[in-house]
Amino acid sequence: MYHKRIKQFPEDFLFGAATSAFQVEGAADIDGRGVAVHDLQPKKEGITDFSVASDHYHHYKEDIALMKELGLKAYRLSLSWVRIMPDGKNVNPKGIEFYDRLLQEVVDNDMEPIVTIYHFEYPQALVDAYGGWSSREAIEDFEKFAAVLFENFGDRVNYWLTINEQDHLLKIPSRLGFPEEIDGKEYLKLAEQVNYNMCVATARVIKLCHEVLPHAQIGPVINPMYGIPNSNKPEDVIATMEFNELSTFYITELHCRGRFSPIHWKYMEDRDVVPEIFEEDLELMKANKPDFLGMNYYLNQTVAASQQDAIAYHEKSVFIVEEPGVYTVTDNPNIVQTDWGWNICPEGMKLAIMDFYNRYQLPVLITENGLGAHDELKDEQVEDDYRIEYIHNHLAQIKDCIGLGYPVIGYCAWSFIDLVSGREGMDKRYGFIYVNRDNDDLKDMRRIKKKSFYWYQTIIEERGESL
Ligand code: BG6
């Protein structure tokens, strides 16, 4: 049961909200921005692309004024690699100038910028040059990009995030610039190499950050769909543990301990997809651990033992529902779902926070959490009580974790303002602020505060006392 173990959140708790560059900025062809892999994806029928998004590029001052009014202590944003380095390698001064103005505005308005170095927006030029993340060259280029950010913005940024949702990226070939039609086994092999390269790249960037910005903290962003057992049958409990290992901890074991999770290793061996590994990389990871773990949490899964007995290759989906021989994801009548079938389970967030801390003793920063919904604008208002309820229940679990002694340092709701959803365009809105546009009509891009805006404002003001 949930008990009020503390009255308020700690004074330095980072109440925040988040966005990512390609989902919010628009201005895709302006000031020398290069081509990112998603720019070349075929447009989905009835769904907008990312070219205009919420036009934050031109509205950033107005948007930051709204953040200030909301009372945010922190704003999580990502910096577009292709705005700063259009070909992935050479610096575009106009890109630096834009983020210089933007970050200064955030700092001048007394908010802590939390900067994601790489949030899905990968330069197409690097895919063309050497296959992107499948190659070790990608590690060097990621480090060079990070070095440019540290040099130009390190004086204003105390919190850095390396790669957003590596686990998620691995399940969508097109986000890495790879063809969707690639064969399952071939792709699984590639994905394991990409995973490994990204872990090495993360350690290199953590090392660099610690060397050049000793005041700053840095960590990866993981996306646990923390599994709970379907029943009290021991085989379901074991399958759940294996699910968590193969869906989440296989990455954090490399980030935080520089070793492969045994279950993950066996999984790769059985499928003949072990990547090329160098001992010095594992040493590098062991010596350069994150300062905290960034966690995006939206949903969890309910897991049972698989009744099938085969070896599966890659199912190119974000939600891998069956790993034959290991686990299967089941429906849970005790958990309600969003309109897109995502399980709403705030307790899953608490379980994930506690498990991560118990394993790694690293503070947790919630980097994303929120509810995507079909919001309706009526008489200049959006009554998004469903969003208030969702965020309320998740924040209550975080408060409880803190009360139990688990160090959660901040919470960034997804998203600060409506932006283009990864797969559903403008149909699925997440923001505290409504942007007056839809998929096929840009209208006037007017910003309208939703009911949740005023609710979150009060929560921040009272430091969560009513939660
Ligand atoms: C996270 C991403 O996976 O989930 C965001 O970091 C994304 O970029 C968010 O928008 C919600 O997913 P979706 O598909 O509903 O936009």
The secondary structure of residue 98, as a DSSP letter, is: H
Residue 334 Cα, ligand 1 centroid: separation in angstroms?
Answer: 24
Q: Single out the residue of 253, 255, 277 nearest to residue 263, CA to CA.
A: 253
Give the bridge partners for 410, in sequence order.
14, 365
Ligand 1 contacts CB of residue 427 (under 6 A): no
Interior/surface letters 384-421, b for 16+ CB within 10 angstroms, e for the rest = beebbebbbbbbbbbbbbbeeebebbbbbbbbbbbbbb
For the CA of 223, the nearest atom of ligand 1: 3
**Per-block average pLDDT, block size 10, for the chain (467 residues)?**
80 98 97 96 90 98 98 98 98 98 98 98 98 97 98 98 94 89 86 97 98 98 96 97 95 98 94 96 98 97 89 70 88 94 96 97 98 97 98 97 97 98 93 97 97 98 97
> Which phi-psi region, left, alpha or beta, contains residue 272 (left: φ > 0; alpha: ψ -120 to 50)?
left
Amino acid at 118: Y
Cα–Cα distance for residue pair 452/382, rounded to 1 Å: 9
Per-residue pLDDT, 267: 92
Give the bridge partners for 123, in sequence order.
36
The structure tokens 């930051």 sit at: 64
Per-residue pLDDT, 314: 66
Written as one string, the DSSP assignment of 135-168 is STHHHHHHHHHHHHHHHHHTTT-SEEEEEE-HHH
The residue whose CA has the least distance to atom 12 of ligand 1 is 422
Q: Which element (helix H / strand E) includes 412?
A: strand 408-414
Helix (H, G, I), strand (E, B) or coil at 48: coil
The CA distances from residue 224 to 63, 76, 120, 149, 258, in Å, are 30, 19, 17, 27, 19
Q: Which domains does the chain have, with CATH numbers?
A: 14-461 (3.20.20.80)
Q: Which residues lie below 8 Å from residue 442, measured CB to CB, with a gap of 6+?
A: 52
Ligand 1 contacts CB of residue 164 (under 6 A): yes
Q: Which residues lie below 8 Å from residue 143, measured CB to CB, with a gap of 6+?
A: 201, 204, 205, 208
The structure tokens 């993360």 sit at: 202
Q: Which residues lie below 8 Å from residue 401, measured CB to CB, with a gap of 6+?
A: 350, 353, 354, 408
Give the bridge partners for 36, in sequence order.
123
The residue whose CA has the least distance to atom 15 of ligand 1 is 421
Ligand 1 contacts CB of residue 318 (under 6 A): no
- Claim: this prediction has a pTM higher than 0.75: yes
The CA distances from residue 388 to 225, 247, 273, in Å, are 21, 29, 44
Say if residue 415 is preceded by a cis peptide, omega within 30 of 0.
Answer: yes
Per-residue pLDDT, 16: 98
Ligand 1 contacts CB of residue 428 (under 6 A): yes
Per-residue pLDDT, 3: 58
Residue 421 Cα, ligand 1 centroid: separation in angstroms?
Answer: 6
Ligand 1 contacts CB of residue 165 (under 6 A): yes
CA 84, 422, 429, 368 torsion: positive or negative? Answer: negative
